[in-house]
Structure 1
Amino acid sequence: MATKSYSRTRTLVECALMIAVGTVLAQIKIFEMPFGGSVTLVSMLPFILVSFRHGVKWGLATGFVNSLLQMLLGFYAPPAGTVAAFVGVVLLDYVLAFTLLGLAGVIAKPFKNHLLGVAAGTAAVCVIRFLCSFLSGALLWGSYQESYEWARGMSVWLYSFIYNGSYMLPELLITTVCAVILCKAAPKFFLPEN
C-alpha cells in the first residue's frame, strides 16, 4: 500500500514539474503570430513525455491543466463576442488543443520500432493541435483575414490553413525532431514507468 501511494505521489510530482517546465518553455517564443499562435521552445514536449511515461489518463490530465494555464497566461477573446464563439475558442484553442497532447503514447503503441513510435506519436498530436487551431481559425477567427493583404478574397479555410500552418508546421518539426533526439539519447524517458 505504501509503495502504491509513493508511486502515485511521485507521478503527481513529475506531472506538476512537467506542467511547470511546459509553461516556462511556452513563454520562450521563437516566432509569434499577431493574432495568436507561436513557435515555442518545445513547449509541447513535456506533456508528450507524460503521455509516454504515465499513460493516457495522466497525459490527458496534465494536458488539461496546461490548457487552463495557457488560458490564464494569454487568452485571446473571439472577435464575434458571442457566448458560442467564446466557448468555441475555449474548447478549440485551449482545452482540446492542449489536452489531446496526452494521446501521444497511445498513438505510438502500434509501432514495433520504439523510435518510430515516438516520432509518429509526437507528430500526430502536433497535427491534432493544428487541426484544432485550423478549425478555430476558419470558424471563429476568419474575420481577421481582412487584416492581411495577401489573404483578402481568399477562402476562410485556406486562410486558416496558411495562418495556422505558418507556426504549427515549424512547431511540429521542432518538437518531433527534439523528441527523437531525446529518445535516442535517453530512451527511458519515453518508456512507461513501472
Structure 2
Amino acid sequence: MLEFFIKPVMSEGGVSYMPTAAGYAALIALMAVVLVIASLVAGKNEHRQISTRHLTFCAAAIALAVVTSNIKIFHLPTGGSVTLFSMLFITLTGYWYGPKTGILAAIAYGILQMVIDPYILYPLQVLVDYILAFGALGLSGFFTQSKHGLIKGYLAGICGRYVFAVLSGWLFFGSMAWEGWGALPYSMVYNAVYIFSEGALTMILLAVPSVSKGLARVRQIAEI
C-alpha cells in the first residue's frame, strides 16, 4: 500500500524515496484539509464566526514562507539551510491565532515543503522531518498573549523544530556523521548550525523598531 504513494529512487547517497503522482495528490489534498481545519479552529476561538480572514492570512504566511525558504543564504550538503526568515512567517500564524491554528498551518507548510523539495531516505522520516519538525513551529501560539510574545513564540518554535531535527538526524542520518563523531552529537551540531543561525538573524531583524511595530500592526489587522 505504501508503494502506491512513495517509490524508491537510486541516488549518489544510495536509495531515497520520492512521492509518486498519487503521493503528490494525497499530500496536496492533505495540505488543503489541514488549512480548512485551521480555518475552522480559528473561527471557533472566542466564539467568533468562522472567518475567511484567518484562512487568508494563514495562506499568505505559508506562501511567504515558501518563497523565502527558496532564498537560501547558505545550504548544507545533506539538507538544511539558512533562509530569508522563512521560519518567522510560519510562527506568525500561531502568534496571531493560537497554538491549534499555528500547529495546523505549520504542518500544512511542512507538507508543502515535502511536495516542493523532498529529501526522503526512509518512509518514517516523513513524519519526523516534515510533520513534527515543521509542525513544531506552531508552538509560537502558546505565547500569543505573553509580553514579547512574538519573540518568545519564535524561539519556542525554532527550538521545537530543532528537537525533531536532531531526532531525525540521530535516527536516520547517523551514518553521515563526521569521522570520530557519534550520531547524536553530530546531529545536535549539524542542525544547530542552520536553525540557530537563521534564528539569530531573525532576532536581529525583530529588534529593529520599525519591523516590530509593523508586525504588531499586521497582527491587529489579522485579528479583526
- The TM-score range, normalised by the shorter chain, is 0.7 to 0.9
User: Deviations along 1:132-161, whole A, 9 cap, x unmatched?
Assistant: 11111111111112xxxxx21211111111
Amino acid at match of 1:86: P
In 1, the alpha carbon distance for the partners of 2:116 and 2:156 equals 26
Stretches of structure 1 lacking an aligned partner (at least 5 in a row): 79-84, 146-150
Aligned residues: percent identity? 35
The secondary structure found in structure 2 opposite 1:86 is coil
Amino acid at match of 1:63: A
Stretches of structure 2 lacking an aligned partner (at least 5 in a row): 1-47
Output aligned runs, 1:38-187, within 5 Å: 38-78=81-121, 85-87=122-124, 89-107=125-143, 109=145, 111=146, 114-115=147-148, 117-145=149-177, 151-181=178-208, 182-187=211-216
Paired residues in the alignment total 174
CA RMSD of aligned residues (A): 2.0
Q: TM-score, normalised by structure 1?
A: 0.81
In 1, the alpha carbon distance for the partners of 2:214 and 2:162 equals 28
Higher RCO, 1 vs 2 (CA within 8 Å, ≥6 residues apart):
1
In 2, the alpha carbon distance for the partners of 1:102 and 1:11 equals 15
Q: Which has the higher helix share?
A: 1
Amino acid at match of 1:27: N
Amino acid at match of 2:119: Y
- Structure 1's consecutive aligned runs of 4 or more residues displaced over 6 angstroms after TM superposition are none
Aligned to 2:223: 193
Give 1:92 shift.
1.6
Give 1:166 shift.
1.3
Give 1:186 shift.
4.0
Is the CA contact (8 Å cut-off) linking 1:39 and 1:170 kept in structure 2?
Answer: yes
The secondary structure found in structure 2 opposite 1:39 is strand
